[in-house]
Every structure is written in C-alpha cells, then in structure tokens.
Structure 1
Amino acid sequence: MASVLSYESLVHAVAGAVGSVTAMTVFFPLDTARLRLQVDEKRKSKTTHMVLLEIIKEEGLLAPYRGWFPVISSLCCSNFVYFYTFNSLKAVWVKGQRSTTGKDLVVGFVAGVVNVLLTTPLWVVNTRLKLQGAKFRNEDIVPTNYRGIVDAFHQIIRDEGVSALWNGTFPSLLLVFNPAIQFMFYEGLKRQLLKKRMQLSSLDVFIIGAIAKAIATTATYPLQTVQSILRFGRHRLNPENRTLGSLRNVLYLLHQRVKRFGILGLYKGLEAKLLQTVLTAALMFLVYEKLAAATFTVMGLKRAAPKP
C-alpha cells in the first residue's frame, strides 16, 4: 500500500502530466490535422500541411488550436492517472528486482485500462469541442453547439444519455495496447542503453521515446481511427449499429472504411498522427525524465534506478 501511495509515484505522475501538456501544446496543430483526416472522410487533401493550410484559410489562423483547453485538460488528467498507476503497479510488482519486457507490458496494459475507464468522458467531450465549428466535407456529420466543457457534458447527458460519455470505450480498451507497447519498448530500449552508459542524454531519451511511439502508433492506428469517429459520435450511422463502442460497431466502421477507401483507408491520417504523436511522445518523455530527476534531486530523494 505504501508503494501505491508513495511520493515517488506522485512525482512520476506530475512529471508525466507536465511533460504531456508541454509536448501537446507545441505540436497541437498536427493533432488537429490528424483528427480532421480521420473523421471527415470526404476531405480531398491528403497531406498534413495541406489540411492545416485549408483549416487556416477557411476557419482562421487560430483554428488549428481550437479545442486546446479541453484537450490539454483531458491529457493532463489522463497522463497523471496513467503515470501514477504505471509506476505504482511497477513498484508493487518489481519491488527492487529486475524489470522485464513482459512485466512492463502487463503493467502498461493494466494502467491503460484504469486510465480508459476513468478518463473516456473527458476525451469524448474534448473531441466534440475540437471539431465544433469545423467545415466538414462529409454531409453525414451532424454539427454541435456547445458553450464549453460543462455545457458539453450537460447536452450529451441530456440528449444522448450518460452512456454516451463512454462512446468509443471498447476500441479504447483495445487501444490500451498502444501505451503498453510504447512503454514496453521505451523501458526496454532504456535498459539496453543503460547497460552501456551511466545515464541517458537528452538526445537518447528523445530518440527512444520517438521510436517507441512510432511502433505503437503504426500497430494500432486503424483502431484509433474508429475511436475518433465513435468519440465524435455525430455521424449518421446505420440504425442497426447505434450502440457506439460495441464490437459490432467497431467491425462495421472498419468494414465501411475498407469498402470506401481500400485497406489504405484504415491508415488515412497516419502521416499526421505519426508526425504529431512521435514528436509529442519524444518531447513528453524528455520533459518527464528531466523534471522527475530534478524533483528527486531538489527533494534530496534517491530515484529508484532501473536495473539493466
């Protein structure tokens, strides 16, 4: 119990939250482009920079940062929960022993499940707010009119029921493999490098963070597309598939995507997603490692070093 409620876990959680907020703020326009490519299937522009130019031209210079606050709020809460759970579970399970790739994967998976169940409502709301006011090519999309985070929660619960706040939970639970894979590769690569040197440089952390996220994103991208569509929840879907987030609906959306655009349609927006998530994850891990190390130094505490 002491390991779960430890000061060290809190430091990791705060450092992870601050790192993710910093990184997402820097690369936020790339996430805006990715979301448009995923949700608005009839958009003709295929590249990240062309989509961003279209958005700025049609919706204004600040449009790429639309929905920044709810996204950052959700991301801060989400990463705090994930980093706290991950490091707490790892402290309880490993207890100073040698960590392994398998243990990192399992701990990452469990932390991801906890994170999804607690924070999905925040992500549903921020997806809606981020796409509000967007000029869509797809006429099947029903526009929204929310005045902010609280109003969005109120309208969704009133018009669609409380369960709508967990739209996309099923693919999100499948997608816990994304951060699990990411942390597995990140921790594994870090252990390998620490065998050869006493500590990692900023460049080392940036590179292994980028590699880990690139692998995880590519492996799980089709489900991320379905997750975005379900969270948005404003498409006029087949009446037989109104249970958003069910396995049947996930398979239906994947099939429709392949039917319209071919297999490559499952990876529409991957360029923007890779560019955004890889750079964001790399910067996040860099800020996280430096902030955590600085905090432990200032507080005069010895950080638990990973065993190679």
Structure 2
Amino acid sequence: MSDALINGLAGAGGGIIAQLITYPLQTVNTRQQTERDLKKEKRKLGTIEEMLRVVKHEGWERLYGGLTPSLVGTAASQGVYYYFYQIFRNKAEATALERKRRGIGDGSVGMFSSLVVAALAGCVNVLLTNPIWVVVTRMQTHTKISKKSLSNQPLPAPDETVLSIVEPLPYGTSHVIQEVYDEAGFWGFWKGVVPTLIMVSNPSIQFMLYETMLKKLKKKRSLHKQGNNGVTALEIFLLGALAKLGATVVTYPLLVVKARLQAKQITTGDKRHHYKGTSDAILKMTRYEGFSGFYKGMSTKIVQSVLAAAVLFMVKEELVKGARVLLTPNTVKSKPP
C-alpha cells in the first residue's frame, strides 16, 4: 500500500472521529454564520445558549442535522486531501533532494513549497467535494419548528429572517438534493465554490504552521535525546490545535460568506438577505451588517475547529503509525549466536 493511500485513509478515519465529537458545535456555528437579522439591538445567543434553544424548540436530534452526508463529506474531503497532499509532498521532496544534489538548498521542503503543496491539495479537494457541503449546510440551517411552538409565537415581521419553515416532506438528503437542483440546476451544487477555493489558504496556513512547528520540535528533541525525535500523541494534539487556531482567525470571513451562499436563499421579501454571488454577498454584508458580520459565530468556530483539528491530527498520526507497523515486514529478528 502506498504512503499516499495510507495517509488518505488515516486522514479519513481521523476526520470522521473528529466530526462525531464536534458536530453539534459545527451545526450551531453554521446557524450563527447564516443568521441575517439586521437589528443591532438584538442580543446574540452564545454557543451554549444556542444549543439549549435548539434542543428545547427542535429536539436534540437537530444538533446532528445533516450528520450522514457530513460524515461522507468528511471522509471524502480528508481522504482526497491527504491522498493528494502526500502525492504533491512526495514530488516536492524529490525536487528538493534533486536541488541539493546540484548544490542548491539543504534537501528539505521549504515553507513556501509546503504552502503550495497544501494549496494544490486543497483545490482538488474543494472541486471534488463542494456538492456534499452544499447539502450539509442546507440541512444544518434547516429549522424544525413544532406546531406547538408556532401556535405560541407571533408571526415574524416582514423584515425578519426565518431560515426555514416546517415542510410537509422530511428534510432528508434526497429532498435537499432535489431542492438545490430545482433552484439552480447542476451548478447549484457548486455554490460558494469561489470563497471556498480562496479558503484553501486555511489548510495551507494550518499545515504550514503544523509542519514548521513539528519540524522544530523534532529537531529540538533529537538534539536533547541523542537522535530520538519521536513526538507524543499529546504533542501532536497541541500542535494541531495551535496551527488550526492561527489559520481560522485569518480566514474566517471567507467561511461566513461561503455559508451564506450555500444556505437556502430567501428570494422573497427583504432583498438584503438574498445573495446573487460572492461579490454581492460581500458588498451587502459590508453595507448592512458592517465588519462584525463577517465574524459571526467565530468563538464557536474556534472551539469547534481547533478541537476537531487537534483530534484529527492525533488520530491520523496514530493510524498512520499503526498501518505502517502492520504493513511493514518484521525485519528485526533475533541475532544468531
């Protein structure tokens, strides 16, 4: 089994485990990002408050709305990303070694090369898996309102935003796929692909920071422990968390724009809530919501993404180690007397 395939499968496994652990936070964060109430005086609910509100009015299962396609998307995304990342990384390492033989460089992959490798892998991942995430976003932002809740609540004002109303059919994966196709045809499944492609800088920055810190830690460890540069699962966890934190702070506005475009569009009523494309969404958000609109739900995202990335890195590294141990022939045998 190739090293690229091992990394791809390990990435998919790590991604699924991280997704299961952090999915309620992801659902809450997507709702916060796509909330379009323009009233400045309205108090924004915190992460825990939003979770409790969803459980109270819609049931705890809504925190896991879209989990099935999300798991498929996570496995596909992580698998595709790590597979192509390893392929591009191998080529970059081979190029670096060739340059060293010609007297250029020290044979290691530099920071810029690592950034390019991660960006290329990210672009391939986005183009192949964007339809899955359009479906997941729709299911996460669909609001299930019980008849009892509706009877006790006044009708929303004309200028207020309601993400979704109870529909006669179950809002499952097939229903969402049909809805997206009816709205925008085949290309509707690539809504938000422009900001998402730009957002490949997020994993690029993340992996650049991660590998830079990991390289320095291994170098420091080898100097102090006579060539032993092994790192623990906890250290991998912390490095993954730090790398993701830095990347998330820089690229969060693009994530909000992507979520707005992929969520169900409001075609009637207030046109300020309807986005025709990436530039239209950015202009309307800037005009009507200000700079803060691009950072809605950021605290929730930081907790969710940092925890998910840390778990993913830790699990992936352990799976890769385990796979290599299982697949590598046992070359260490007892020495003859």
TM-score, with structure 1 as normaliser: 0.87
Quick one: distance in 2 between partners of 1:186 and 1:71?
Answer: 25
Contact conserved, 1:21 with 1:72, CA < 8 A, in 2?
yes
Q: How far off is 1:34 after superposition?
A: 0.7
Partner of 1:278: 306
Measure the CA separation in 2 of the matches of 1:69 and 1:205.
28
Q: 2:48 and 2:182 mapped to 1: Cα distance?
A: 38
For residues 146 and 90 of structure 1, the distance between their equivalents in structure 2, rounded to whole angstroms, comes to: 44
Q: Which residues in structure 2 correspond to 1:231-246 (within 5 Å)?
A: 231-236=262-267, 238=271, 243-245=276-278
1:293 aligns with 2:288: no
Instruction: Say whether 1:264 aligns with 2:292.
Output: yes
- Aligned 8 A contact 2:142 2:163 in 1: no
Of the two structures, which has the highest relative contact order with CA contacts closer than 8 Å and spacing of 6 or more?
A: 1
Task: State the alpha-carbon separation in 1 of the partners of residues 322 and 264 from structure 2.
Answer: 42
Distance change in 2, residues 1:254/1:181 (3 Å): farther
- Extract unaligned runs of 5+ from structure 2: 98-106, 151-155, 222-228, 331-337
Give deviations 1:147-205, integer Å, cap 9, x for gaps. Answer: 43233223322332111111101110111101111111011111010102211111110
Per-residue displacement from partner, 1:118-162 (whole Å, max 9, x unpaired)?
111110011112222345985264557664323322332233211
2:36 aligns to what?
41
Query: Contact (CA 8 Å) 2:265, 2:275: kept in 1 or not?
Result: no
Check if 1:175 corresponds to 2:174: no
Pair member with larger Rg: 2
Match of 2:102 in 1: none
**RMSD of aligned alpha carbons:** 2.4
Does residue 1:110 correspond to 2:120, yes or no? yes
Would you say 1:23 and 2:18 are equivalent positions?
A: yes
For residues 175 and 111 of structure 1, the distance between their equivalents in structure 2, rounded to whole angstroms, comes to 12
Q: Equivalent of 2:218, from 194, 201, 208?
A: 194
Q: Is 1:130 the counterpart of 2:140 in the alignment?
A: yes
Instruction: Mark the CA change 1:179 to 1:146 in structure 2 (over 3 Å): closer, same or farther.
Output: farther
Q: Does 1:12 align with 2:24?
A: no
The answer to whether the aligner puts 1:64 opposite 2:63 as a matched pair is yes
Could you say what secondary structure the match of 2:161 adopts?
Answer: coil
Match of 2:153 in 1: none
Q: Secondary structure at the match of 1:27?
A: helix
Q: Which residue of 2 aligns with 1:151?
A: 175
1:252 is displaced (CA, Å) by 2.0
* 8 Å Cα contact 1:46/1:269 also seen in 2: no
Q: 1:62 aligns to what SS in structure 2?
A: helix
CA distance in 2 between partners of 1:234 and 1:301 (Å): 55
SS of the residue 2:132 aligns to:
helix
**Percent same amino acid among aligned pairs?**
30
Cα distance change on mapping 1:242 and 1:270 into 2, 3 Å: closer
Preserved contact between residue 171 and residue 250 of structure 1 (Cα < 8 Å): no
Contact in 1 for aligned 2:261/2:275 (Cα 8 Å): no
C-alpha contact (below 8 Å) 1:182/1:213 kept by paired residues: yes
2:243 is aligned to 212
Report the CA distance between 1:44 and its aligned residue. Answer: 3.7
For residue 264 of structure 1, what is the amino acid of its counterpart?
S
Per mean C-alpha deviation after superposition, the further-off stretch among 97-106 and 142-151 is 142-151
Task: Give the aligned residue type for 1:202.
Answer: A
Q: CA separation in 2, counterparts of 1:41 and 1:155?
A: 21
Q: Which runs of 5+ in 1 are unaligned?
A: 1-5, 303-308
Q: Deviations over 1:213-250 (max 9, x none)?
A: 001111011111111010113234749x75434xx224
Structure 1: which amino acid aligns with 2:294? L
1:216-227 mapped onto 2 (5 Å cutoff): 216-227=247-258
Residue 139 of structure 1 is aligned with which of 155, 161, 164? 161
1:79 counterpart residue number: 78
Partners of 1:159 and 1:83 in 2: how far apart?
33
The TM-score with structure 2 as length reference comes to 0.80
Question: Quick one: which amino acid aligns to residue 309 of structure 2?
Answer: A
